[in-house]
Homo-oligomer: A and B are copies of this chain.
Amino acid sequence: MTSQHPADTADVLASKKQAFQIPDGVIYLDGNSLGVLPKHVPARIAQVINEEWGNSLIRAWNTHSWIDLPARTGDRIGKLIGAPAGTVVACDSTSVNVFKVLSAALALRPMRKVILSDNGNFPTDLYVASGLKQLLDKGHKLKVVDPEAVKDAIGEDVAVVMLTQVDYRTGRVHDMADITRAAHEAGALAMWDLAHSAGAIPVDLHGAGADFAVGCGYKYLNGGPGAPAFLYVAPEHQDKVTSPLTGWMGHEAPFAFDLDYRPVSGISRMTVGTPAILALSSLHAALDVFEDVDMADIRRKSVSLSELFIAEVEAKCPQLELASPRDPNARGSQVSFRFKEGYAVMQALIDRGVIGDFRAPDVMRFGFTPLYLSHQDIVDAVEILKDILDTESWNRPEFKTRAKVT
């Protein structure tokens, strides 16, 4: 595996791979599930732990601006998703943020009772919407349609169109601007989950007129396992929305310790409890790698990697069936293939250092992270996949035993 694919010589992002700690012998096609460790992050976290926590202790809330870290991290993410300064904050988990933002959105459309989503949404978004609907007990309905049917389903009863832009299984991409426009024309609001978009594809929240968004810090943003998530509220809604989770960090004057809640002006009213400084510091530092990167370059390379992957797999592994859109314009930065024994094949691949993941019932999922993957990696990965399929080396009991986390 010392050869080099011709496309890598012209790759403007090639040098970025050096910024990441890729384990020896690993081709990592799972950055859409957990991003790779940027090499500079351990030293930064050590500094936060030893100097900021260890030496400054409680004083660090002021001296190291810990108190502003959710907003500062949010602004860095905002640059990658077309969100102006002061519209994004990093906090809580994606699930908790879905709850907050969906609740805030529904309150802006009190006469409308339908939350419209699709069956390609990540389940937790649907679970949270369903839980919120039951909690509110005001006759809301969660209407879940096929992805292709969303636009036609936006009726006058729809309060919010709640979608994940990139399907977590297939990579299919919704047209954010188009659906947001259709939602607005019908008087509804549009809320986007960017879990598989932020850092993966160019996103223009403000340009698309999106009302709300949430997203994940530990996939393409490489913030570390279980990194804080983020949320976006469009400028025009910020002082109208109320968080259902009225914690002290969203208070106008948290350190006045008043008994009554008064939301602060701006995006910070969507924060709740004390910010998770270690985790936020990791995410904030990880975003350094995006500082000198153009999302258009990331997208160009992402398409090139995924097109190469599909071509190689289809040429060498006819047993597999493409589960992603063939048109790269309709795909995010991942490609999935179906195979009945996909779980076992994926375990065999992981055993040989090619790490992707599996999504029930039969989807083998491969993520393409242009910052730390080369075209040669793709060719090498498919060679190993072909060998596993041709020799049926996946057909072993140890590869068929389901792990707790897939």
Contacts and interface: CB of A to CB of B under 8 A. Distances in A.
Given A247-B127, A278-B278, A96 B95 contact: no
Interface stretch (A173-181, A222-230, A316-324): A222-230
Copies in the complex: 2
A360 B251 CA distance: 15
A293 interface: no
Contact of A57 (B26, B136, B247, B279): B26
B280 A226 contact: yes
A393 interface: no
Given A49-B45, A229-B273, A273-B94, A278 B57 contact: no
Interface stretch (A79-87, A253-261, A326-334): A253-261
A300 interface: no
Interface string A317-351: 00000000000000000000000000000000010
Contacts of A289: none
A175 B55 CA distance: 36
A399 to B, nearest CB: 14
A232 interface: no
Interface stretch (A36-44, A156-164, A185-193, A381-389): A36-44
A396 interface: no
Given A52-B225, A94-B273, A130-B246, 16 more contacts: A23-B57, A33-B58, A45-B46, A92-B92, A93-B274, A95-B273, A96-B273, A130-B261, A131-B246, A135-B136, A137-B138, A224-B278, A226-B279, A227-B276, A255-B406, A256-B360
Shortest beta-carbon contacts, A-B, top 6? A93-B273, A131-B246, A95-B247, A95-B273, A225-B277, A124-B248
